[in-house]
Amino acid sequence: MKLKLKLKHLLSILLIALLTISCSTDDEDNMDTSSVSEVDGLTLIQELTNSTHRIELYNTTGEFKTGYNAVSLRVKDLATNTYVEDAELSWMPVMQMPTMQHACPMSSPTKVIDKNTVYSGYIIYQMTNLDGEGWSLTVDYTINGNDYTVSDTITVIQNHNQNVLSFLGADDVRYIVALIEPSTPKIAINTLKVGLFKMENMMSFPVVENFSLTLDPRMPGMGNHSSPNNTNLIYNPSDGVYYADLSLTMTGYWVLNLKLLNENSEVLKGEEVTEEHTQSSLYLELEF
């Protein structure tokens, strides 16, 4: 009799265990597992929501800052609670000022290689939010031939260092130069990446091709000394970015003195650094 009871007890435990495993498997099968790990290492900045979808915006810090912002996006279908794997996206950041509005340099979001639900692009904010002024972001997207849009205000924080500069060149064209890399400088030869754009109109900022930028890094707090083995910034047509070798010989505050030259090697902005003229009018900053 006791043996039968023990067998019944064991069978009950086994049945409960099997049911638990089955339920757990069913729950996992019903989850949207396609994108669970696709934003690992990224922090949510903001969500833009309309009646059909939620656009999730991510980067490494969880904030928009002045300068270059690499941004990842996901589109979530609110009806099915799943992330969209095939969408065409564009966006438009706009600074609303009391008497005018303008956009900024940006790329079009594209699907990330080896990701099912993540799209990425960049936005370069020239300024932060000011009193009575502010940024908005509109995302237009197409799914299965249907067009959608979503828009909301966003917050842009001032970066500690000057990593973007808007200026008028000697040719009366307004340019924007922005530091892209190094994002984590080190004592070594760093790869310097800089974006160069021109203001075609208030809403269009195309990449400037085939110009050049001379580079002279200095440490103002250390006698304004420079460093060896630097190279000038040259345009790379494969990604539309200017590249150079940047030699950083110690930690601290660095000024990256620049001169902008057009295709004819005419100087459009910036000056040589001398004992009398210690800093160019065209410069970016690094501190580490």
SS3 150: strand
For 67-89, how does the pLDDT look when each residue is reduced to its tens digit (9 = 90+)?
999 999 999 999 999 999 999 99
Position 35 scores a pLDDT of 45
Residue 27 has pLDDT above 90, yes or no: no
Q: What is the DSSP string of 92-114?
A: EEEEE-SS-EE---B---EEPTT
Q: Does 248 score more than 70 pLDDT?
A: yes
- Band (pLDDT 50/70/90 cuts) for residue 98 is confident
pLDDT of residue 9: 53
CB 212 within 8 A of CB 113: no
Residues 6+ apart with CB under 8 A from 229: 189, 245, 247
Q: Is the pLDDT reported for residue 37 higher than 90?
A: no
| pLDDT at residue 20, as a whole number | 47
Tell me phi and psi for residue 225, to 5 degrees.
Answer: -75, 155
User: How much is the mean pLDDT over the chain?
Assistant: 90
How far apart (Å, rounded) are the C-alpha atoms in residues 264 and 211? 9
Those residues with Cβ within 8 angstroms of residue 113's Cβ, 6 or more apart along the chain or in another chain = none
**What DSSP line would sit under 151-207, residue for residue?**
EEEE-EEPPSS--EEEEE-TTS-EEEEEEEE-SS--SEEEEEEEEEEE-SBTTB-PB
23 pLDDT higher than 90? no
| pLDDT tens sequence across 167-209 | 999 999 999 999 999 999 999 999 999 999 999 999 999 999 9
User: How far is Cα 285 from Cα 261, in angstroms, rounded to an integer?
Assistant: 20
pLDDT reported for residue 30: 40
pLDDT of residue 2: 46
Counting every residue written for the chain, the total comes to 288
pLDDT given at position 164: 98
**pLDDT value of residue 183:** 95
pLDDT, residue 22, reads 45
The residue-averaged pLDDT of 96-105 equals 93
pLDDT, one tens digit per residue, over 105-163 is 999 999 999 999 999 999 999 999 766 579 999 999 999 999 999 999 999 999 999 99
- Give yes or no for residue 36 having a pLDDT over 60: no
Whether the ω angle into residue 217 lies within 30 degrees of 0, i.e. cis, is no
- The letter for the amino acid at 240 is G
Record the pTM: 0.86
Listing DSSP states for 1-67 in one string gives -HHHHHHHHHHHHHHHHHHHHHHHHHHHHHS-GGGSSTTTT-EEEEEEE-SSEEEEEEESSSSEESE
Asked whether the predicted pLDDT for residue 6 surpasses 90, the reply is: no
CA 204, CA 179: separation in Å to the nearest integer? 20
The total of other beta-carbon atoms located within 10 Å of residue 144's CB is 7
